[in-house]
Structure 1
Amino acid sequence: MLLGVGPASRAAGRKPGKRPNIIFIMADDLGYADLSCYGRREYRTAALDALAASGVRFTQGYANSPVCSATRTALMTGRYQYRLPVGLEEPVGQRPGMGLPPSHPTLPSLLREVGYQTALVGKWHLGRLPDYGPLQSGYDHFWGMREGSVDYFTHNAFGNRPDLWDGDTPANQKGYLTDLLGQKSIDMVRQMSSSGKPFFLSLHFNAPHWPWEGPGDEGEAKRLSSKPTGILHYDGGSLKTYGEIVMAMDRQIGRLMKALEQLRIADDTIVVFTSDNGGERFSDTWPFKGIKTELLEGGIRVPFIVRWPGVAKPKSVSEQVIMTMDFVPTLLSAAGGRMHPDYPADGIDLRAVIAGAAPSARKIHFRYKHMAQEAHRDGDWKYLKIRDNTFLFNVVADPQERANLKARHPDVFARMVAAHRAWDVTMLPIDQRSFTHGYEGSELADHFEGD
């Protein structure tokens, strides 16, 4: 479905008939207000601010999930992650035989079918070799990490296992991981742009995910590597360190954008930036409450920036409700591709909205096994359930989700609960056993009082 009508039909700022290159950049655990263009005050994100100034910034964008692998499943498939067993898992890899099925159509595989070169630089986290991997799911090239979190200096995952790959071969390269990913993305763009064929690059940073190591914190990495678990980092970090991690990512994005200009392909390239879920302990999620693993707005509301020359008006802001999975049908449409008929999109085509169409009401759904959470947004209304506690919020008037309106509006509450139940039965049932860890710093307890 194409949301809105009108200016989406305008050609991008490139030669007639030429299909756009596409770069999709995803941060890891970045909070809604962690960019200065979204309100962060402690540091500046100059490159991402400039990216927002060159296109459209969304203020009501949602990650498909409050955790990593589930959102990445939605990004790959364009569908609710709950349609696949891998989408119910967090963390992926704890049980054997779990991953994104190579037979499932994906954004890169569908783009490859219409002539695109495809590459992933950065984080995969959708299943382990030999059965699962980027090269098995539509990417021509892969350089990065397979697990959920990796040390910025040693490049080791949990248990001090090396986790840096060049294709399906272990890589051995020294350096701060954010800088390495930035350089590899530039190298990949130079390589693919030289062929004359359009390209799709996924640049998935591990920043600002823990361990809390800025570019000058190699000593902290050595300390962590002396422990059997390695990267677990419950006693580290600060606002200053967090800012250094985010700004390091911002610098690499700036370098990549400069490379597009030098290659004279900036006007031929769509660039999208977002996060896989809400922020962690040092994030700024204002004006929302909640963090990663929570269906409060702070756990799922994330930045979305789209630079689309000739389509997205510079310095524009949209209040359209969007989700991660929407970018699969959107980018496929831009490239002249389409969803596989056996796997229709749950996401919507955002081209008209990106081009400036007025926002339209949207119905979206969430579930998460931790604390039996579920949520449903319909227009300005949001139904939320945490264990046996239920709520009705107007998240536009009350973004901090403090005024429970279910007694004042019992008809709205009943309607939204019924709608969510009807949707829920169309998805795979949640396996409660697949959640293997908790999360410290939760704000969910604040919502148990008085219900």
Structure 2
Amino acid sequence: MSSATPTAGTRPNIVFILADDLGWADLGVYGQTDYATPHLDALAAEGVRFTQAYANSAVCSATRFALMTGRYQYRLRGGLEEPIARTAHLHGLPPEHPTLPSRLVEAGYRTALIGKWHLGSGPRFGPLKSGYQQFFGNYAGVIDYFTHQPRAGVDVAPDLWQGEGEGPPVPVQRSGYYTQVLADEASAWLRRQHAQQPFFLSLHFTAPHWPWVGPEDEAVSRQLTDLYHYDGGSLATYGRMVQSLDAAVGQVLATLQAQGLADNTIVVFTSDNGGERFSKTWPFTGQKTELLEGGLRVPTLLRWPAVLQPQVSHQVTITMDWLPTLLAAAGTTPHPDHPSDGEDILPVLRGERAVHARTLYWRYKANAQRAVREGDHKYLKINDNEFLFNVAVDTRERANLRQREPAVFERLKAQWARWNADLLPITDEVFTHAVTPDVQADRYAPERASRPR
């Protein structure tokens, strides 16, 4: 297998598959035992399974800013929103900002987004303004799986759009379960590609994000009075949602194989943040909206048969690494005026560089959360409670080392402050999802925070 920079004739195709709110152990290969995910498990066996992959944020749109720009999302006003919702018409991804798809277009790639955008609403923002040449999907952060409406119980148009080139996307109608609709659209798009031009397909599912309805639950879906995550659902329903996602990915992978494209296509599968209400996050604690490992650590797979051997990688990586990594695979680089905060991880995966320590930073407005991971140490602050963990051995983040290792604690705390000073401030008008108060209060009561365990 060659590790040389790809030439124009051998540049890989790229299919980037993003799940929504998928928990760390929601796949069989990561520890799920209540249901099977055979297609994603097979993808893991054929490629790279990451054990220390992180999302840039504990909530969706902020991570998507990092994915598109290869930078900490806090460099852009829209990236401060957690997630972008009420101000999506004001604070989306600026069309003038270089992105992963725009850099690939400049390198000669054909690009498309099929699925969720969630980086600002039209007409000011949109995928066709930020590097994608074709788009089919939804603008908002959530839509019903069957009606495709952004709200339940009201007479509102579906949030489903299609567009190509310079013109604005137009509303379209589709019937069926949205996960399957996206798989069908992606498969059809792949069948239209030809070998002369490499392509980049972003396939961004909404699954398994709420509303909690599986592919056989259309009647349940139409009875929902609220799409919000407390309305309905069960572990069994969630399992069916993830299984539907697995089948959809399997369909897309089968299409690549049938088209003779599988060998030199990079397939990435990951999630935008940690799991939600019904997710399995063992052995971690925490969930979406929390800077505990369960809110940040995400299942991540990569397959590139022409170049990479199957392996389990313990390299620490994060969402914003995908821009420099995939651009390097395509033989190009980030825009010089917008250098990436991420790292090209291909040398590690090719065996040209050893697995190495990283320093990564997070912040989240709700409960004044802060986090730094440096090597195996993690500094965490929630409200007025501060912690130091060794996440390599204390995966559940329960042994506070603050008093045992005060020098490390103070160094990481100071590092976070210096990093934060270079980014846009989180002001009062920035929207954020709040962590469930009763869970948070019980988990980190102030009187417990000061005691080493």
TM-score by length of 1: 0.94
**Alignment match, 2:102:** 109
**Superposition pairs of residues 35-50 of structure 1, within 5 angstroms:** 35-50=27-42
Q: Which amino acid aligns with 2:215?
A: P
Structure 2 gaps of 5+ residues are 164-168
Question: How far did 1:16 drift?
Answer: 8.4
Question: How far did 1:91 drift?
Answer: 2.9
**Superposition pairs of residues 41-120 of structure 1, within 5 angstroms:** 41-95=33-87, 96-120=89-113
Answer whether contact 1:290 1:442 (CA < 8 A) is retained.
no
Q: Which amino acid aligns with 1:379?
A: G
**Alignment match, 1:189:** 190
Any idea what SS the aligned residue of 1:184 has? helix
Q: Aligned match of 2:448 in 444, 447, 450?
A: 450
Any idea what SS the aligned residue of 2:251 has? helix
Question: How far did 1:436 drift?
Answer: 4.8
Answer whether contact 1:294 1:444 (CA < 8 A) is retained.
no
Answer whether contact 2:117 2:139 (CA < 8 A) is retained.
yes
What value does the CA root-mean-square deviation take over the aligned residues? Answer: 1.6
Q: Which amino acid aligns with 2:27?
A: L
Question: How far did 1:353 drift?
Answer: 1.9
Counterparts of 2:347 and 2:440, CA distance in 1: 36
Q: Aligned match of 2:350 in 351, 355, 361?
A: 355
**Alignment match, 2:425:** 429
Counterparts of 2:173 and 2:287, CA distance in 1: 34
The 1:92/1:16 distance shift into structure 2, 3 A limit, reads closer
Q: Which amino acid aligns with 1:79?
A: R
Q: Aligned match of 2:139 in 141, 146, 151?
A: 146
- Verify: 1:249 aligned to 2:242, yes or no: no
Any idea what SS the aligned residue of 2:263 has? helix
**Alignment match, 1:278:** 274
The 1:99/1:361 distance shift into structure 2, 3 A limit, reads same
The 1:346/1:8 distance shift into structure 2, 3 A limit, reads farther
**C-alpha distance after superposition, 1:161-188 (max 9, x if no partner):** 3201112101111111000000101111
Question: How far did 1:363 drift?
Answer: 0.4
**Superposition pairs of residues 395-410 of structure 1, within 5 angstroms:** 395-410=391-406
Any idea what SS the aligned residue of 1:196 has? coil
Answer whether contact 2:61 2:83 (CA < 8 A) is retained.
yes
Moved more, 203-212 or 156-165: 156-165
Question: How far did 1:418 drift?
Answer: 1.0
**Alignment match, 2:166:** none
Answer whether contact 2:276 2:287 (CA < 8 A) is retained.
yes
Q: Which amino acid aligns with 1:83?
A: R
**Alignment match, 1:180:** 181
Any idea what SS the aligned residue of 1:139 has? coil
Question: How far did 1:440 drift?
Answer: 3.6
Answer whether contact 1:8 1:351 (CA < 8 A) is retained.
no
Answer whether contact 2:363 2:369 (CA < 8 A) is retained.
yes
Q: Aligned match of 2:3 in 9, 19, 31?
A: 9
Any idea what SS the aligned residue of 2:86 has? coil
- Verify: 1:373 aligned to 2:365, yes or no: no
Counterparts of 2:120 and 2:350, CA distance in 1: 36
Any idea what SS the aligned residue of 1:364 has? strand
**Alignment match, 1:3:** none
Counterparts of 1:163 and 1:373, CA distance in 2: 33
Counterparts of 1:73 and 1:426, CA distance in 2: 18
- Verify: 1:329 aligned to 2:319, yes or no: no
**Alignment match, 1:341:** 336
**C-alpha distance after superposition, 1:257-311 (max 9, x if no partner):** 1111110110110000000000001101011000000000000000110101133
**Superposition pairs of residues 202-221 of structure 1, within 5 angstroms:** 202-221=202-221
Answer whether contact 1:11 1:311 (CA < 8 A) is retained.
no
Counterparts of 2:229 and 2:57, CA distance in 1: 23
- Verify: 1:265 aligned to 2:272, yes or no: no
Question: How far did 1:195 drift?
Answer: 6.1
TM-score by length of 2: 0.93
Q: Which amino acid aligns with 1:204?
A: H
Moved more, 122-131 or 433-442: 433-442
Answer whether contact 2:25 2:280 (CA < 8 A) is retained.
yes
Q: Which amino acid aligns with 1:450?
A: R
Any idea what SS the aligned residue of 1:299 has? helix
Any idea what SS the aligned residue of 1:189 has? helix
**Alignment match, 1:125:** 118
Identity of aligned residues (%): 56
Question: How far did 1:406 drift?
Answer: 0.6
**Alignment match, 1:4:** none
Moved more, 326-335 or 355-364: 355-364
Counterparts of 1:8 and 1:64, CA distance in 2: 31
Any idea what SS the aligned residue of 1:261 has? helix
**C-alpha distance after superposition, 1:29-66 (max 9, x if no partner):** 00011000000010111000010011110000000000
